[in-house]
Amino acid sequence: MIDKRTLTGILVGTTLVGMAACDSKPLGYGDPNSIIAVMSPELWDEVEQDVYEALETTVFTVAEERAYTVTYQEPYGSFWSDLRRFKQMLVVGTAADPVVQEVMDEARDPITEPGIHQVRMVWSLEQVVTLVLLPDGGGAAALRQQLPAVHELLDRQYLSYARNRMYMSGVDSALADTLYAEAGFSLLLPEVYRWLQINDSMYVFRNDNPDPSELIREVFVTWTTPALTSLDSEELLAWRGRLVGEYYSEPQAMRLEDTFIETEPFLGNEALRVQAQWVNPPERAWPAGGPFITYAITCANQDRTYFVDAWLYAPGKEKYEYMIQLETILETFQCD
C-alpha cells in the first residue's frame, strides 16, 4: 500500500518530470495503432512486404479491418519533422545509424545488445519508440526474425491501452456486488455505463456517450432454468432473435454471411461463442448495423444457462478498440 507521503512524492516527481519534458518536447499525435516505420530506404525496399504482413494484421468486425496501419518514413526525409512526433514509432537499424543513436541517447538505461528495446518520449510527449537494434552488418534477415516479437509486443500494449481507456471512468465494483447479491451474476463495467433491470432475469447495460447517433455499446444478460444440456449456434441465434424482437430498444436483423463460432472454456464449463453482424431490418428508414458477440454460458451450480450478448454501433469509426472493450467486459462475467 502507498502511504500519503510516498504518493505525494510520486505526484511531485511526476509533475516536475512532466514540466521539464514539456519545456523541451512537443506534444505527440497520431492514433496508438498508427505506426511510423523508420529505417534506411535500402532496408525498407527489402522488408516492406514483410513489415506489412507482420504488423498490419486484420480483424473482422463488420468487414476486414486492419488492427494497425504502418507508414514508412525515411530518416530525416521530407516529412521527418512532423512524422517523428507520432506516438508509435518503429525505428530499425544498427548502432552506427544516426537515427538509432538519437533513440539510444534518450534511453533511461544504456542499450548495448541487439534486439527489441522501447524508449519513451524521444521526439515528443506520450511517445513510445520501439527500437529494433540490429547487429553490426545486420540487415533484412535479422529484422525478419524480430518482426513476430515486435507484433506481439505492440499488440499486447494496444490491448492494455484499450482496456485501460475503457476503465478511465472507474470500475463500477459496487454494481458488480449488487448484481451478484441480487441476480447471481456479475460484470465489471466502467462507471459510465447505465443499467436497467427489465424483469427478474433480464438486465441491460448501456454506454451511448457522447451521442447515441455516433456510438452505442450495449450488453444484455438473461438466463434460463433449468440449464440447457446442449445448445448449438442456430439455437443460440434463434434465442437472440426472440430477445431482440421483444426487449431490445431497436430491431436488429442478423446478417450471418460472416459468422464466427467457437466453444471455449469458461468458468469450468464449455461456453458457446458466436460473433456476427446485426443490421436494421429493411423496413427501417435508415441503414444501421454493427458487430455483435453472443455467449451461452452454463453455470451448473445455479442450474442456469446464461445468454450474454454485446453489440456495437459505431458508424464511420474503426471498431477494433471497441470490440476489445466489449470482449473485456464479457470476460469479466461471473456466475458462481
Each residue's pLDDT tens digit, 115-150: 999 999 999 999 999 999 999 998 999 999 999 999
pLDDT at 286: 74
* Count of C-beta atoms within a 10 Å radius of residue 211: 8
pLDDT at 83: 94
CB 334 within 8 A of CB 186: yes
**Run of H or E residues at 177:** helix 173-183
CB-count burial class (<10 Å; 0-12, 13-18, 19+) for 257: exposed
pLDDT at 23: 53
Residue carrying the nine cell digits 510520486: 10
pLDDT at 120: 97
pLDDT at 288: 86
Rounded to whole angstroms, the Cα distance separating 42 from 134 reads 15
Residue 81, helix vs strand vs coil: helix
Rounded to whole angstroms, the Cα distance separating 102 from 239 reads 58
Amino acid, single-letter form, for residue 161: Y
Q: What is the pLDDT of residues 41-79, one digit of tens each?
A: 999 999 999 999 999 998 888 778 899 999 999 999 999
Q: Is the bond leading into 110 cis (omega within 30 degrees of zero)?
A: no
The CATH number of domain 20-166, selected from 3.30.450, 3.40.50, 3.30.379, 1.10.287:
3.30.379
User: Would you state the cell numbers that stand for residue 294, as one nine-digit string?
Assistant: 453472443
pLDDT at 61: 83
pLDDT at 274: 96
User: Would you state the cell numbers that stand for residue 319, as one nine-digit string?
Assistant: 471498431
Give me the residue spans of the domains in the chain.
Answer: 20-166, 170-331
Nearest CA-CA partner of 57 in 83, 74, 33: 33
pLDDT block averages, 10 residues each, the chain of length 336: 31 38 77 96 97 92 87 94 96 97 96 97 96 95 97 96 94 97 96 95 95 94 95 95 92 91 86 94 80 95 96 92 95 91
Question: What is the model's pTM?
Answer: 0.83
pLDDT at 9: 36
Asked if domains 20-166 and 170-331 share a fold, the reply is no
CATH topology of domain 170-331: Protein Transport Mog1p; Chain A (3.40.1000)
Which residues lie below 8 Å from residue 259, measured CB to CB, with a gap of 6+? 233, 274, 275, 276
pLDDT at 14: 37
